[in-house]
Amino acid sequence: MRGKFLIFWSNFEQNQSSRKGCRIGDTHTNIQNLVFVSSKDRQINVKRSYGFLDLYLWNSLLQSTEKKWEIEVEYELNIVSPVFREKKEKRGGKRCNVFKSDGIHYAWGRNNFIEWDELEKDFIVDDCFCVEIAVKVKKMTGIYKENLRSFDKTMEEYSDVVLIVNDQKFYVLKMNLATYSAYFKNLFIGNSNETEKTEIQLLGIDADDFQNYLEVLYGEQAIDEFTVEGILMVAYMYDTPEVIEKCENFIQKESKKTLKKKFELSNRYNLAALMKQCVEEIE
């Protein structure tokens, strides 16, 4: 894991019946105990406590399993005014912590993040304020599968190009990628300036996602609940229909993702069959 960047952002509304707490302004979410659940595995928790606002990011990923995992993150907690033309921010500074599956270290944040009076004065507009948490995942263990195939330097003699993703080198055959991907066909065989290069930098993707994508191209069963979104993103970016179809089939037939998430993926990546399935379930 070389580093993933995520932004968790949400609007919170001041509770109309009691000024002792906050609730999320999301009509699609069942709100309880002052907690906003942004997905089934992540939460932003805010509450008023002794004249201050407490702010936390929770990660309950795999809490229901016996699998042991750790996620080392660097994060920054921010309060942002919802009025963009008069934007104000309260930044908490960058911190580093480790989320663990031990039932103890799965929530990090700050008590007394901001005085409630300051929050009301500078950040609450029409009973609403915004929370933004920027997260950089520095290291993950126990979550991702083991690599099913090597593309490291040991494969150098069997390769004719090196693809570099976030400083990680992948030794591959041009023809293998060009056969399935219109993007790589143009890159390696077309009139691209990169055609004759032996090392090519790929931008905008994660090394783990690219590893899994290559494994699928090479015939490995690399698609699972945790890898499918990353593989799908890379396959869509590099115009790889067969890999996209495999991801779509997995999401349709095996994935436990919510209907809302499936619909989002179908819309983002133009997955017609998945979109049809989602619409039928809604109806």
- Cα four-point dihedral sign 30, 33, 34, 37: negative
Look at residues 141, 169, 200 and tell me which one is the last residue of a structural domain: 141
Confidence of residue 34 (pLDDT cuts 50, 70, 90): very low
Is 254 within a domain? Answer: yes
Structurally, the chain folds into a number of domains equal to: 2
Contact assessment for residue 63 and residue 106, using Cβ atoms and an 8 Å cutoff: yes
Same-domain pairing of 198 and 272: yes
Q: What is the mean pLDDT of the chain?
A: 80
Is 246 within a domain? Answer: yes
Higher pLDDT, 116 or 231: 231
Same-domain pairing of 166 and 237: yes
145 phi and psi angles, rounded to 5 deg = -70, 165
Is 147 within a domain? Answer: no
Same-domain pairing of 27 and 108: yes
What average pLDDT does the segment 200-229 reach? Answer: 94
Asked whether the predicted pLDDT for residue 19 surpasses 80, the reply is no
User: Residue 40's pLDDT is what?
Assistant: 41
Higher pLDDT, 97 or 276: 276
Task: Note the pTM of the prediction, 2 decimals.
Answer: 0.62
Same-domain pairing of 189 and 258: yes
Burial of 87 (0-12, 13-18, 19+ CB in 10 A): exposed
Same-domain pairing of 22 and 83: yes
Higher pLDDT, 234 or 92: 234
Same-domain pairing of 97 and 166: no
Q: Tens digits of per-residue pLDDT, 59-70?
A: 655 555 566 777
User: Residue 126's pLDDT is what?
Assistant: 78
Asked whether the predicted pLDDT for residue 226 surpasses 70, the reply is yes
Confidence of residue 37 (pLDDT cuts 50, 70, 90): very low
Asked whether the predicted pLDDT for residue 263 surpasses 60, the reply is yes
Same-domain pairing of 219 and 113: no
Q: Tens digits of per-residue pLDDT, 171-211?
A: 999 999 999 999 999 999 887 777 788 999 999 998 999 99
Residue of 186, 184, 159 lying closest to 173 (CA atoms): 159
DSSP 146: P
User: Residue 105's pLDDT is what?
Assistant: 57
Is 104 within a domain? Answer: yes
User: Residue 57's pLDDT is what?
Assistant: 78
In terms of residue numbers, what domain contains 35?
4-141
What average pLDDT does the segment 11-34 reach? Answer: 38
For residue 149, the tally of other CB atoms under 10 A from its CB is 13
Same-domain pairing of 160 and 74: no
Q: Tens digits of per-residue pLDDT, 46-97?
A: 878 888 888 887 765 555 556 677 788 888 888 877 665 455 667 777 888 7
Is 146 within a domain? Answer: no
Asked whether the predicted pLDDT for residue 283 surpasses 80, the reply is no
Same-domain pairing of 180 and 264: yes
17 phi and psi angles, rounded to 5 deg = -90, -20
Residue of 86, 85, 74 lying closest to 5 (CA atoms): 74
Same-domain pairing of 186 and 263: yes
CATH code for the domain in which residue 28 is found: 2.60.210.10
14 phi and psi angles, rounded to 5 deg = -65, 135
Same-domain pairing of 12 and 98: yes
Same-domain pairing of 110 and 44: yes
CATH code for the domain in which residue 159 is found: 3.30.710.10
Higher pLDDT, 263 or 140: 263
User: Residue 59's pLDDT is what?
Assistant: 65
User: Residue 122's pLDDT is what?
Assistant: 85
